[in-house]
Chain A
């Protein structure tokens, strides 16, 4: 709105700032000073601050430290967001905490910031926290910083003291790939060189901190190919689907060709931005598109310019910050949120921990703990869209969620991507699985028998296999124990190895089914997530999950292989049911209580279902 008296700056996007620096270097005071001296503090807030601080004094940090606990402890424990505007520019400032235990908030602030204000003191110089904060900010996408060297009053406004710290900072920033916009001597308490120039430092000829923030120019955005991560699908009354999302790169117009991450070619039939029909939309706009032909693409899909392949990622190499107080474990599966998709990701390898002093990655035997920066590899349980962070932020940044606790356990950026189809091309097979199946005159499926040791999986597998053989149906048993003598001989019983065991069996079962066989898998397979993955690998319409269920004490009593006895005696480690948990299927296709019915009856129930589903 053009209003007389409205600063022109108000119509330009806010410059997003963050603060970096050690806890005692006076960040909150500096920001409070910046807000106060630029006139952004309302009188009633000021009265309150003066009252809290005692007579006559203003404690500027009080303007920023919002929560009770912080004021009581005199520290900033969370990220606070402040808004202020001058005649020349408007700002959003994220004040991130200095203590090491809040490193994660530093990383969060950096992921949004365009310019950092690094605070060091002339008295103490570069601190371990200074280095840590700058490294984290650089890793999470920050590129430019202003250095404020504070507490100049405590070194008698000495130019040499300033120059020494400035030189240390210059070297540090250069090593991290951060660009220093300006280095400014400051006395935040008295306000020298924050907004007004200080009288005591005539030797300094550069701008004040605020002057520097006002004149900083952002690097021009790079023009890229169109990328639209689909966030939500609208179903319009009377039919029709419209895909919504925020355009992550490039620009689009009605008529433009796009490809889905599954490789389907489409055109934009209609385009809306913020609810209005438009002829063109730019990166950053919240848009909606109607596609021609209409495709059933939902949340998590990505539409891109035909020149770009973003879909089909199966392996990611990443850099992450670990956020919680329990350890990151290789072999565990987490929910990966990247772009708009949420997929299961298996931590296949931890390459090492990033040493912030040397920026070297060192393989480490120590458990990965809170605030550690880690280089790791994920294998995705289903192909998903992803790009390196350096290429696109929206498809290159992620968070990791632990489904069990619902907590955000890590955040990071993608360094490298391996894709299913391009990096290892598929060899075309001339005889299709359908033709093989019809040669055998049957419809293949995989009967996946899961349950505790002793529940009766092997007994039932053999029983069903004999019946099928008798009917002249080609079938095969994949028995977990037998496979561990060969294909899976290299695997132990850690969670990671069990997941790998299930993964291999799933792929073998899928191949056997492709060959036209009726496949009976007899595998303890204790993890719900891994079984879900097996279902995906094998295919929803030919996967039948059968829960072979008997209470633990019944299994223990049966103990056909003497394994429970050994586990109880301590000579068998990590035995499911004794030492580790079994996750029962939440909705199996068939649930057999083998302690309540005879084996023959169970076998009949399985065959009945196979018939009912049309596989026999």
Chain B
């Protein structure tokens, strides 16, 4: 398994030589980078016990990279935490473990063992029940258990309509409830970081980044990402007009479904049974940028299920990131 990982063509991890290299960023990315670093420093300076929520995806990779730059030449002054549903792609877990193995990071895992023991899984339960049990609940519990007062995540405003209204520093009431009607107004890049007893903060340094910005930054900074983002022949099943990946033996095919091998990639990464692939031939970061440029005007209908109603808003109110 490890061998497969090493053979997969990925860009090199950030090292000190690259940190010293001349910046290759254009004015737009430099501005976004400076803003994100300033927010990360604010989170460190103003909170007692901040944590970076690390989900292994491209946004988390960018966030981790920025956090190291924000505190260079010092070391990263906060741990990472991964809410592991145990149904992530195997390649994601290998990527995560390789990152930890390189050293210099403390990674905390949050798993809802109780729900797993009761048989929670993404095949027998609908997506929202599963997400609440395996993501929202363990996140809330881990924040409480470790006494984190600020959880920093890679969510972006361009991802989803209710996220478009998120604050950079977003208050959660006791019980981790998001009340979008009583958010703190944010002026001039000044953030009120005071917390009432029992309240916690979520912090989003990539608020103003778009998907395109993320990929262009990954390219400019040579940031390593999970190879699942790049097109490759993968085992998939056609269901409801989407390509669902068959990542391990736990996948259940329905009557009439056959496993095919199709050249696909993933635009976002989550739990594999809930993450549809897109047909693509983008094998490098450059290819992905080109694909995004042409996708902007084309028909793309593959993610309808993520956008029905305002499910993200409801999940966020319950404490989802």
Q: Residue-by-residue, is B273-292 near A (CB-CB < 8 Å gives 1, otherwise 0)?
A: 00000000000001001100
Given A43-B299, A44-B307, A274-B23, do A235 and B212 touch, yes or no (CB 8 Å)? no
A407 at the binding interface (Cβ < 8 Å): yes
Residue contact A11 to B28, C-beta cutoff 8 Å: yes
Please tell me the size bucket of the interface on A: 35 or more
Contacts of A141 in B (CB 8 A): 188
B6 at the binding interface (Cβ < 8 Å): no
B21 at the binding interface (Cβ < 8 Å): yes
From B34, B216, B294, B308, give the contact of A1 (CB < 8 A): B216
A564 at the binding interface (Cβ < 8 Å): no
* Complex CA distance for A231 and B41, rounded to whole angstroms: 7
Number of B residues, CB within 8 Å of A: 74
Question: What distance in Å separates the Cβ of A319 from its nearest Cβ neighbour in chain B?
Answer: 13
Given A67-B180, A284-B34, do A406 and B290 touch, yes or no (CB 8 Å)? no
Residue contact B70 to A286, C-beta cutoff 8 Å: yes
Question: What distance in Å separates the Cβ of A46 from its nearest Cβ neighbour in chain B?
Answer: 9
Which of B26, B184, B190 has the most chain A CB atoms inside 10 A of its CB? B190
Q: How many A-B residue pairs have CB under 8 A?
A: 199
Contacts of A18 in B (CB 8 A): none
Residue contact A43 to B300, C-beta cutoff 8 Å: yes
Q: Which residues of A (1-23) have their CB < 8 Å from a CB of B?
A: 1, 3-6, 10-14
* Complex CA distance for A13 and B28, rounded to whole angstroms: 4
A69 at the binding interface (Cβ < 8 Å): yes
Contacts of A285 in B (CB 8 A): 30, 34
Question: What distance in Å separates the Cβ of A31 from its nearest Cβ neighbour in chain B?
Answer: 11
Residue contact A284 to B187, C-beta cutoff 8 Å: no
B186 at the binding interface (Cβ < 8 Å): yes
Chain A, residue nearest B171 (CB): A406
Question: What distance in Å separates the Cβ of A233 from its nearest Cβ neighbour in chain B?
Answer: 8
Residue contact A80 to B164, C-beta cutoff 8 Å: yes
From A83, A90, A337, give the contact of B190 (CB < 8 A): A337
Residue contact A299 to B45, C-beta cutoff 8 Å: yes
A232 at the binding interface (Cβ < 8 Å): yes
Question: What distance in Å separates the Cβ of B22 from its nearest Cβ neighbour in chain A?
Answer: 8
Contacts of A12 in B (CB 8 A): 26-28
Contacts of A399 in B (CB 8 A): 187-188, 190, 192
A446 at the binding interface (Cβ < 8 Å): no
* Complex CA distance for A5 and B288, rounded to whole angstroms: 13
Question: What distance in Å separates the Cβ of A411 from its nearest Cβ neighbour in chain B?
Answer: 4
From A78, A242, A406, give the contact of B196 (CB < 8 A): A406
**22 CB-based A-B contacts, threshold 8 Å:** A1-B216, A1-B219, A3-B289, A3-B293, A11-B26, A43-B301, A48-B304, A66-B161, A67-B310, A81-B165, A81-B207, A92-B208, A105-B185, A231-B42, A234-B74, A242-B73, A273-B23, A284-B34, A335-B194, A338-B190, A398-B190, A401-B192
Interface residues of A (CB under 8 A from B): 1, 3-6, 10-14, 39-40, 42-45, 47-48, 66-69, 71, 77-83, 90, 92, 104-105, 107-108, 111-112, 140-141, 231-232, 234-237, 242, 244-246, 272-277, 284-286, 288, 299, 323, 335, 337-338, 340, 393-394, 397-399, 401, 403, 405-408, 411
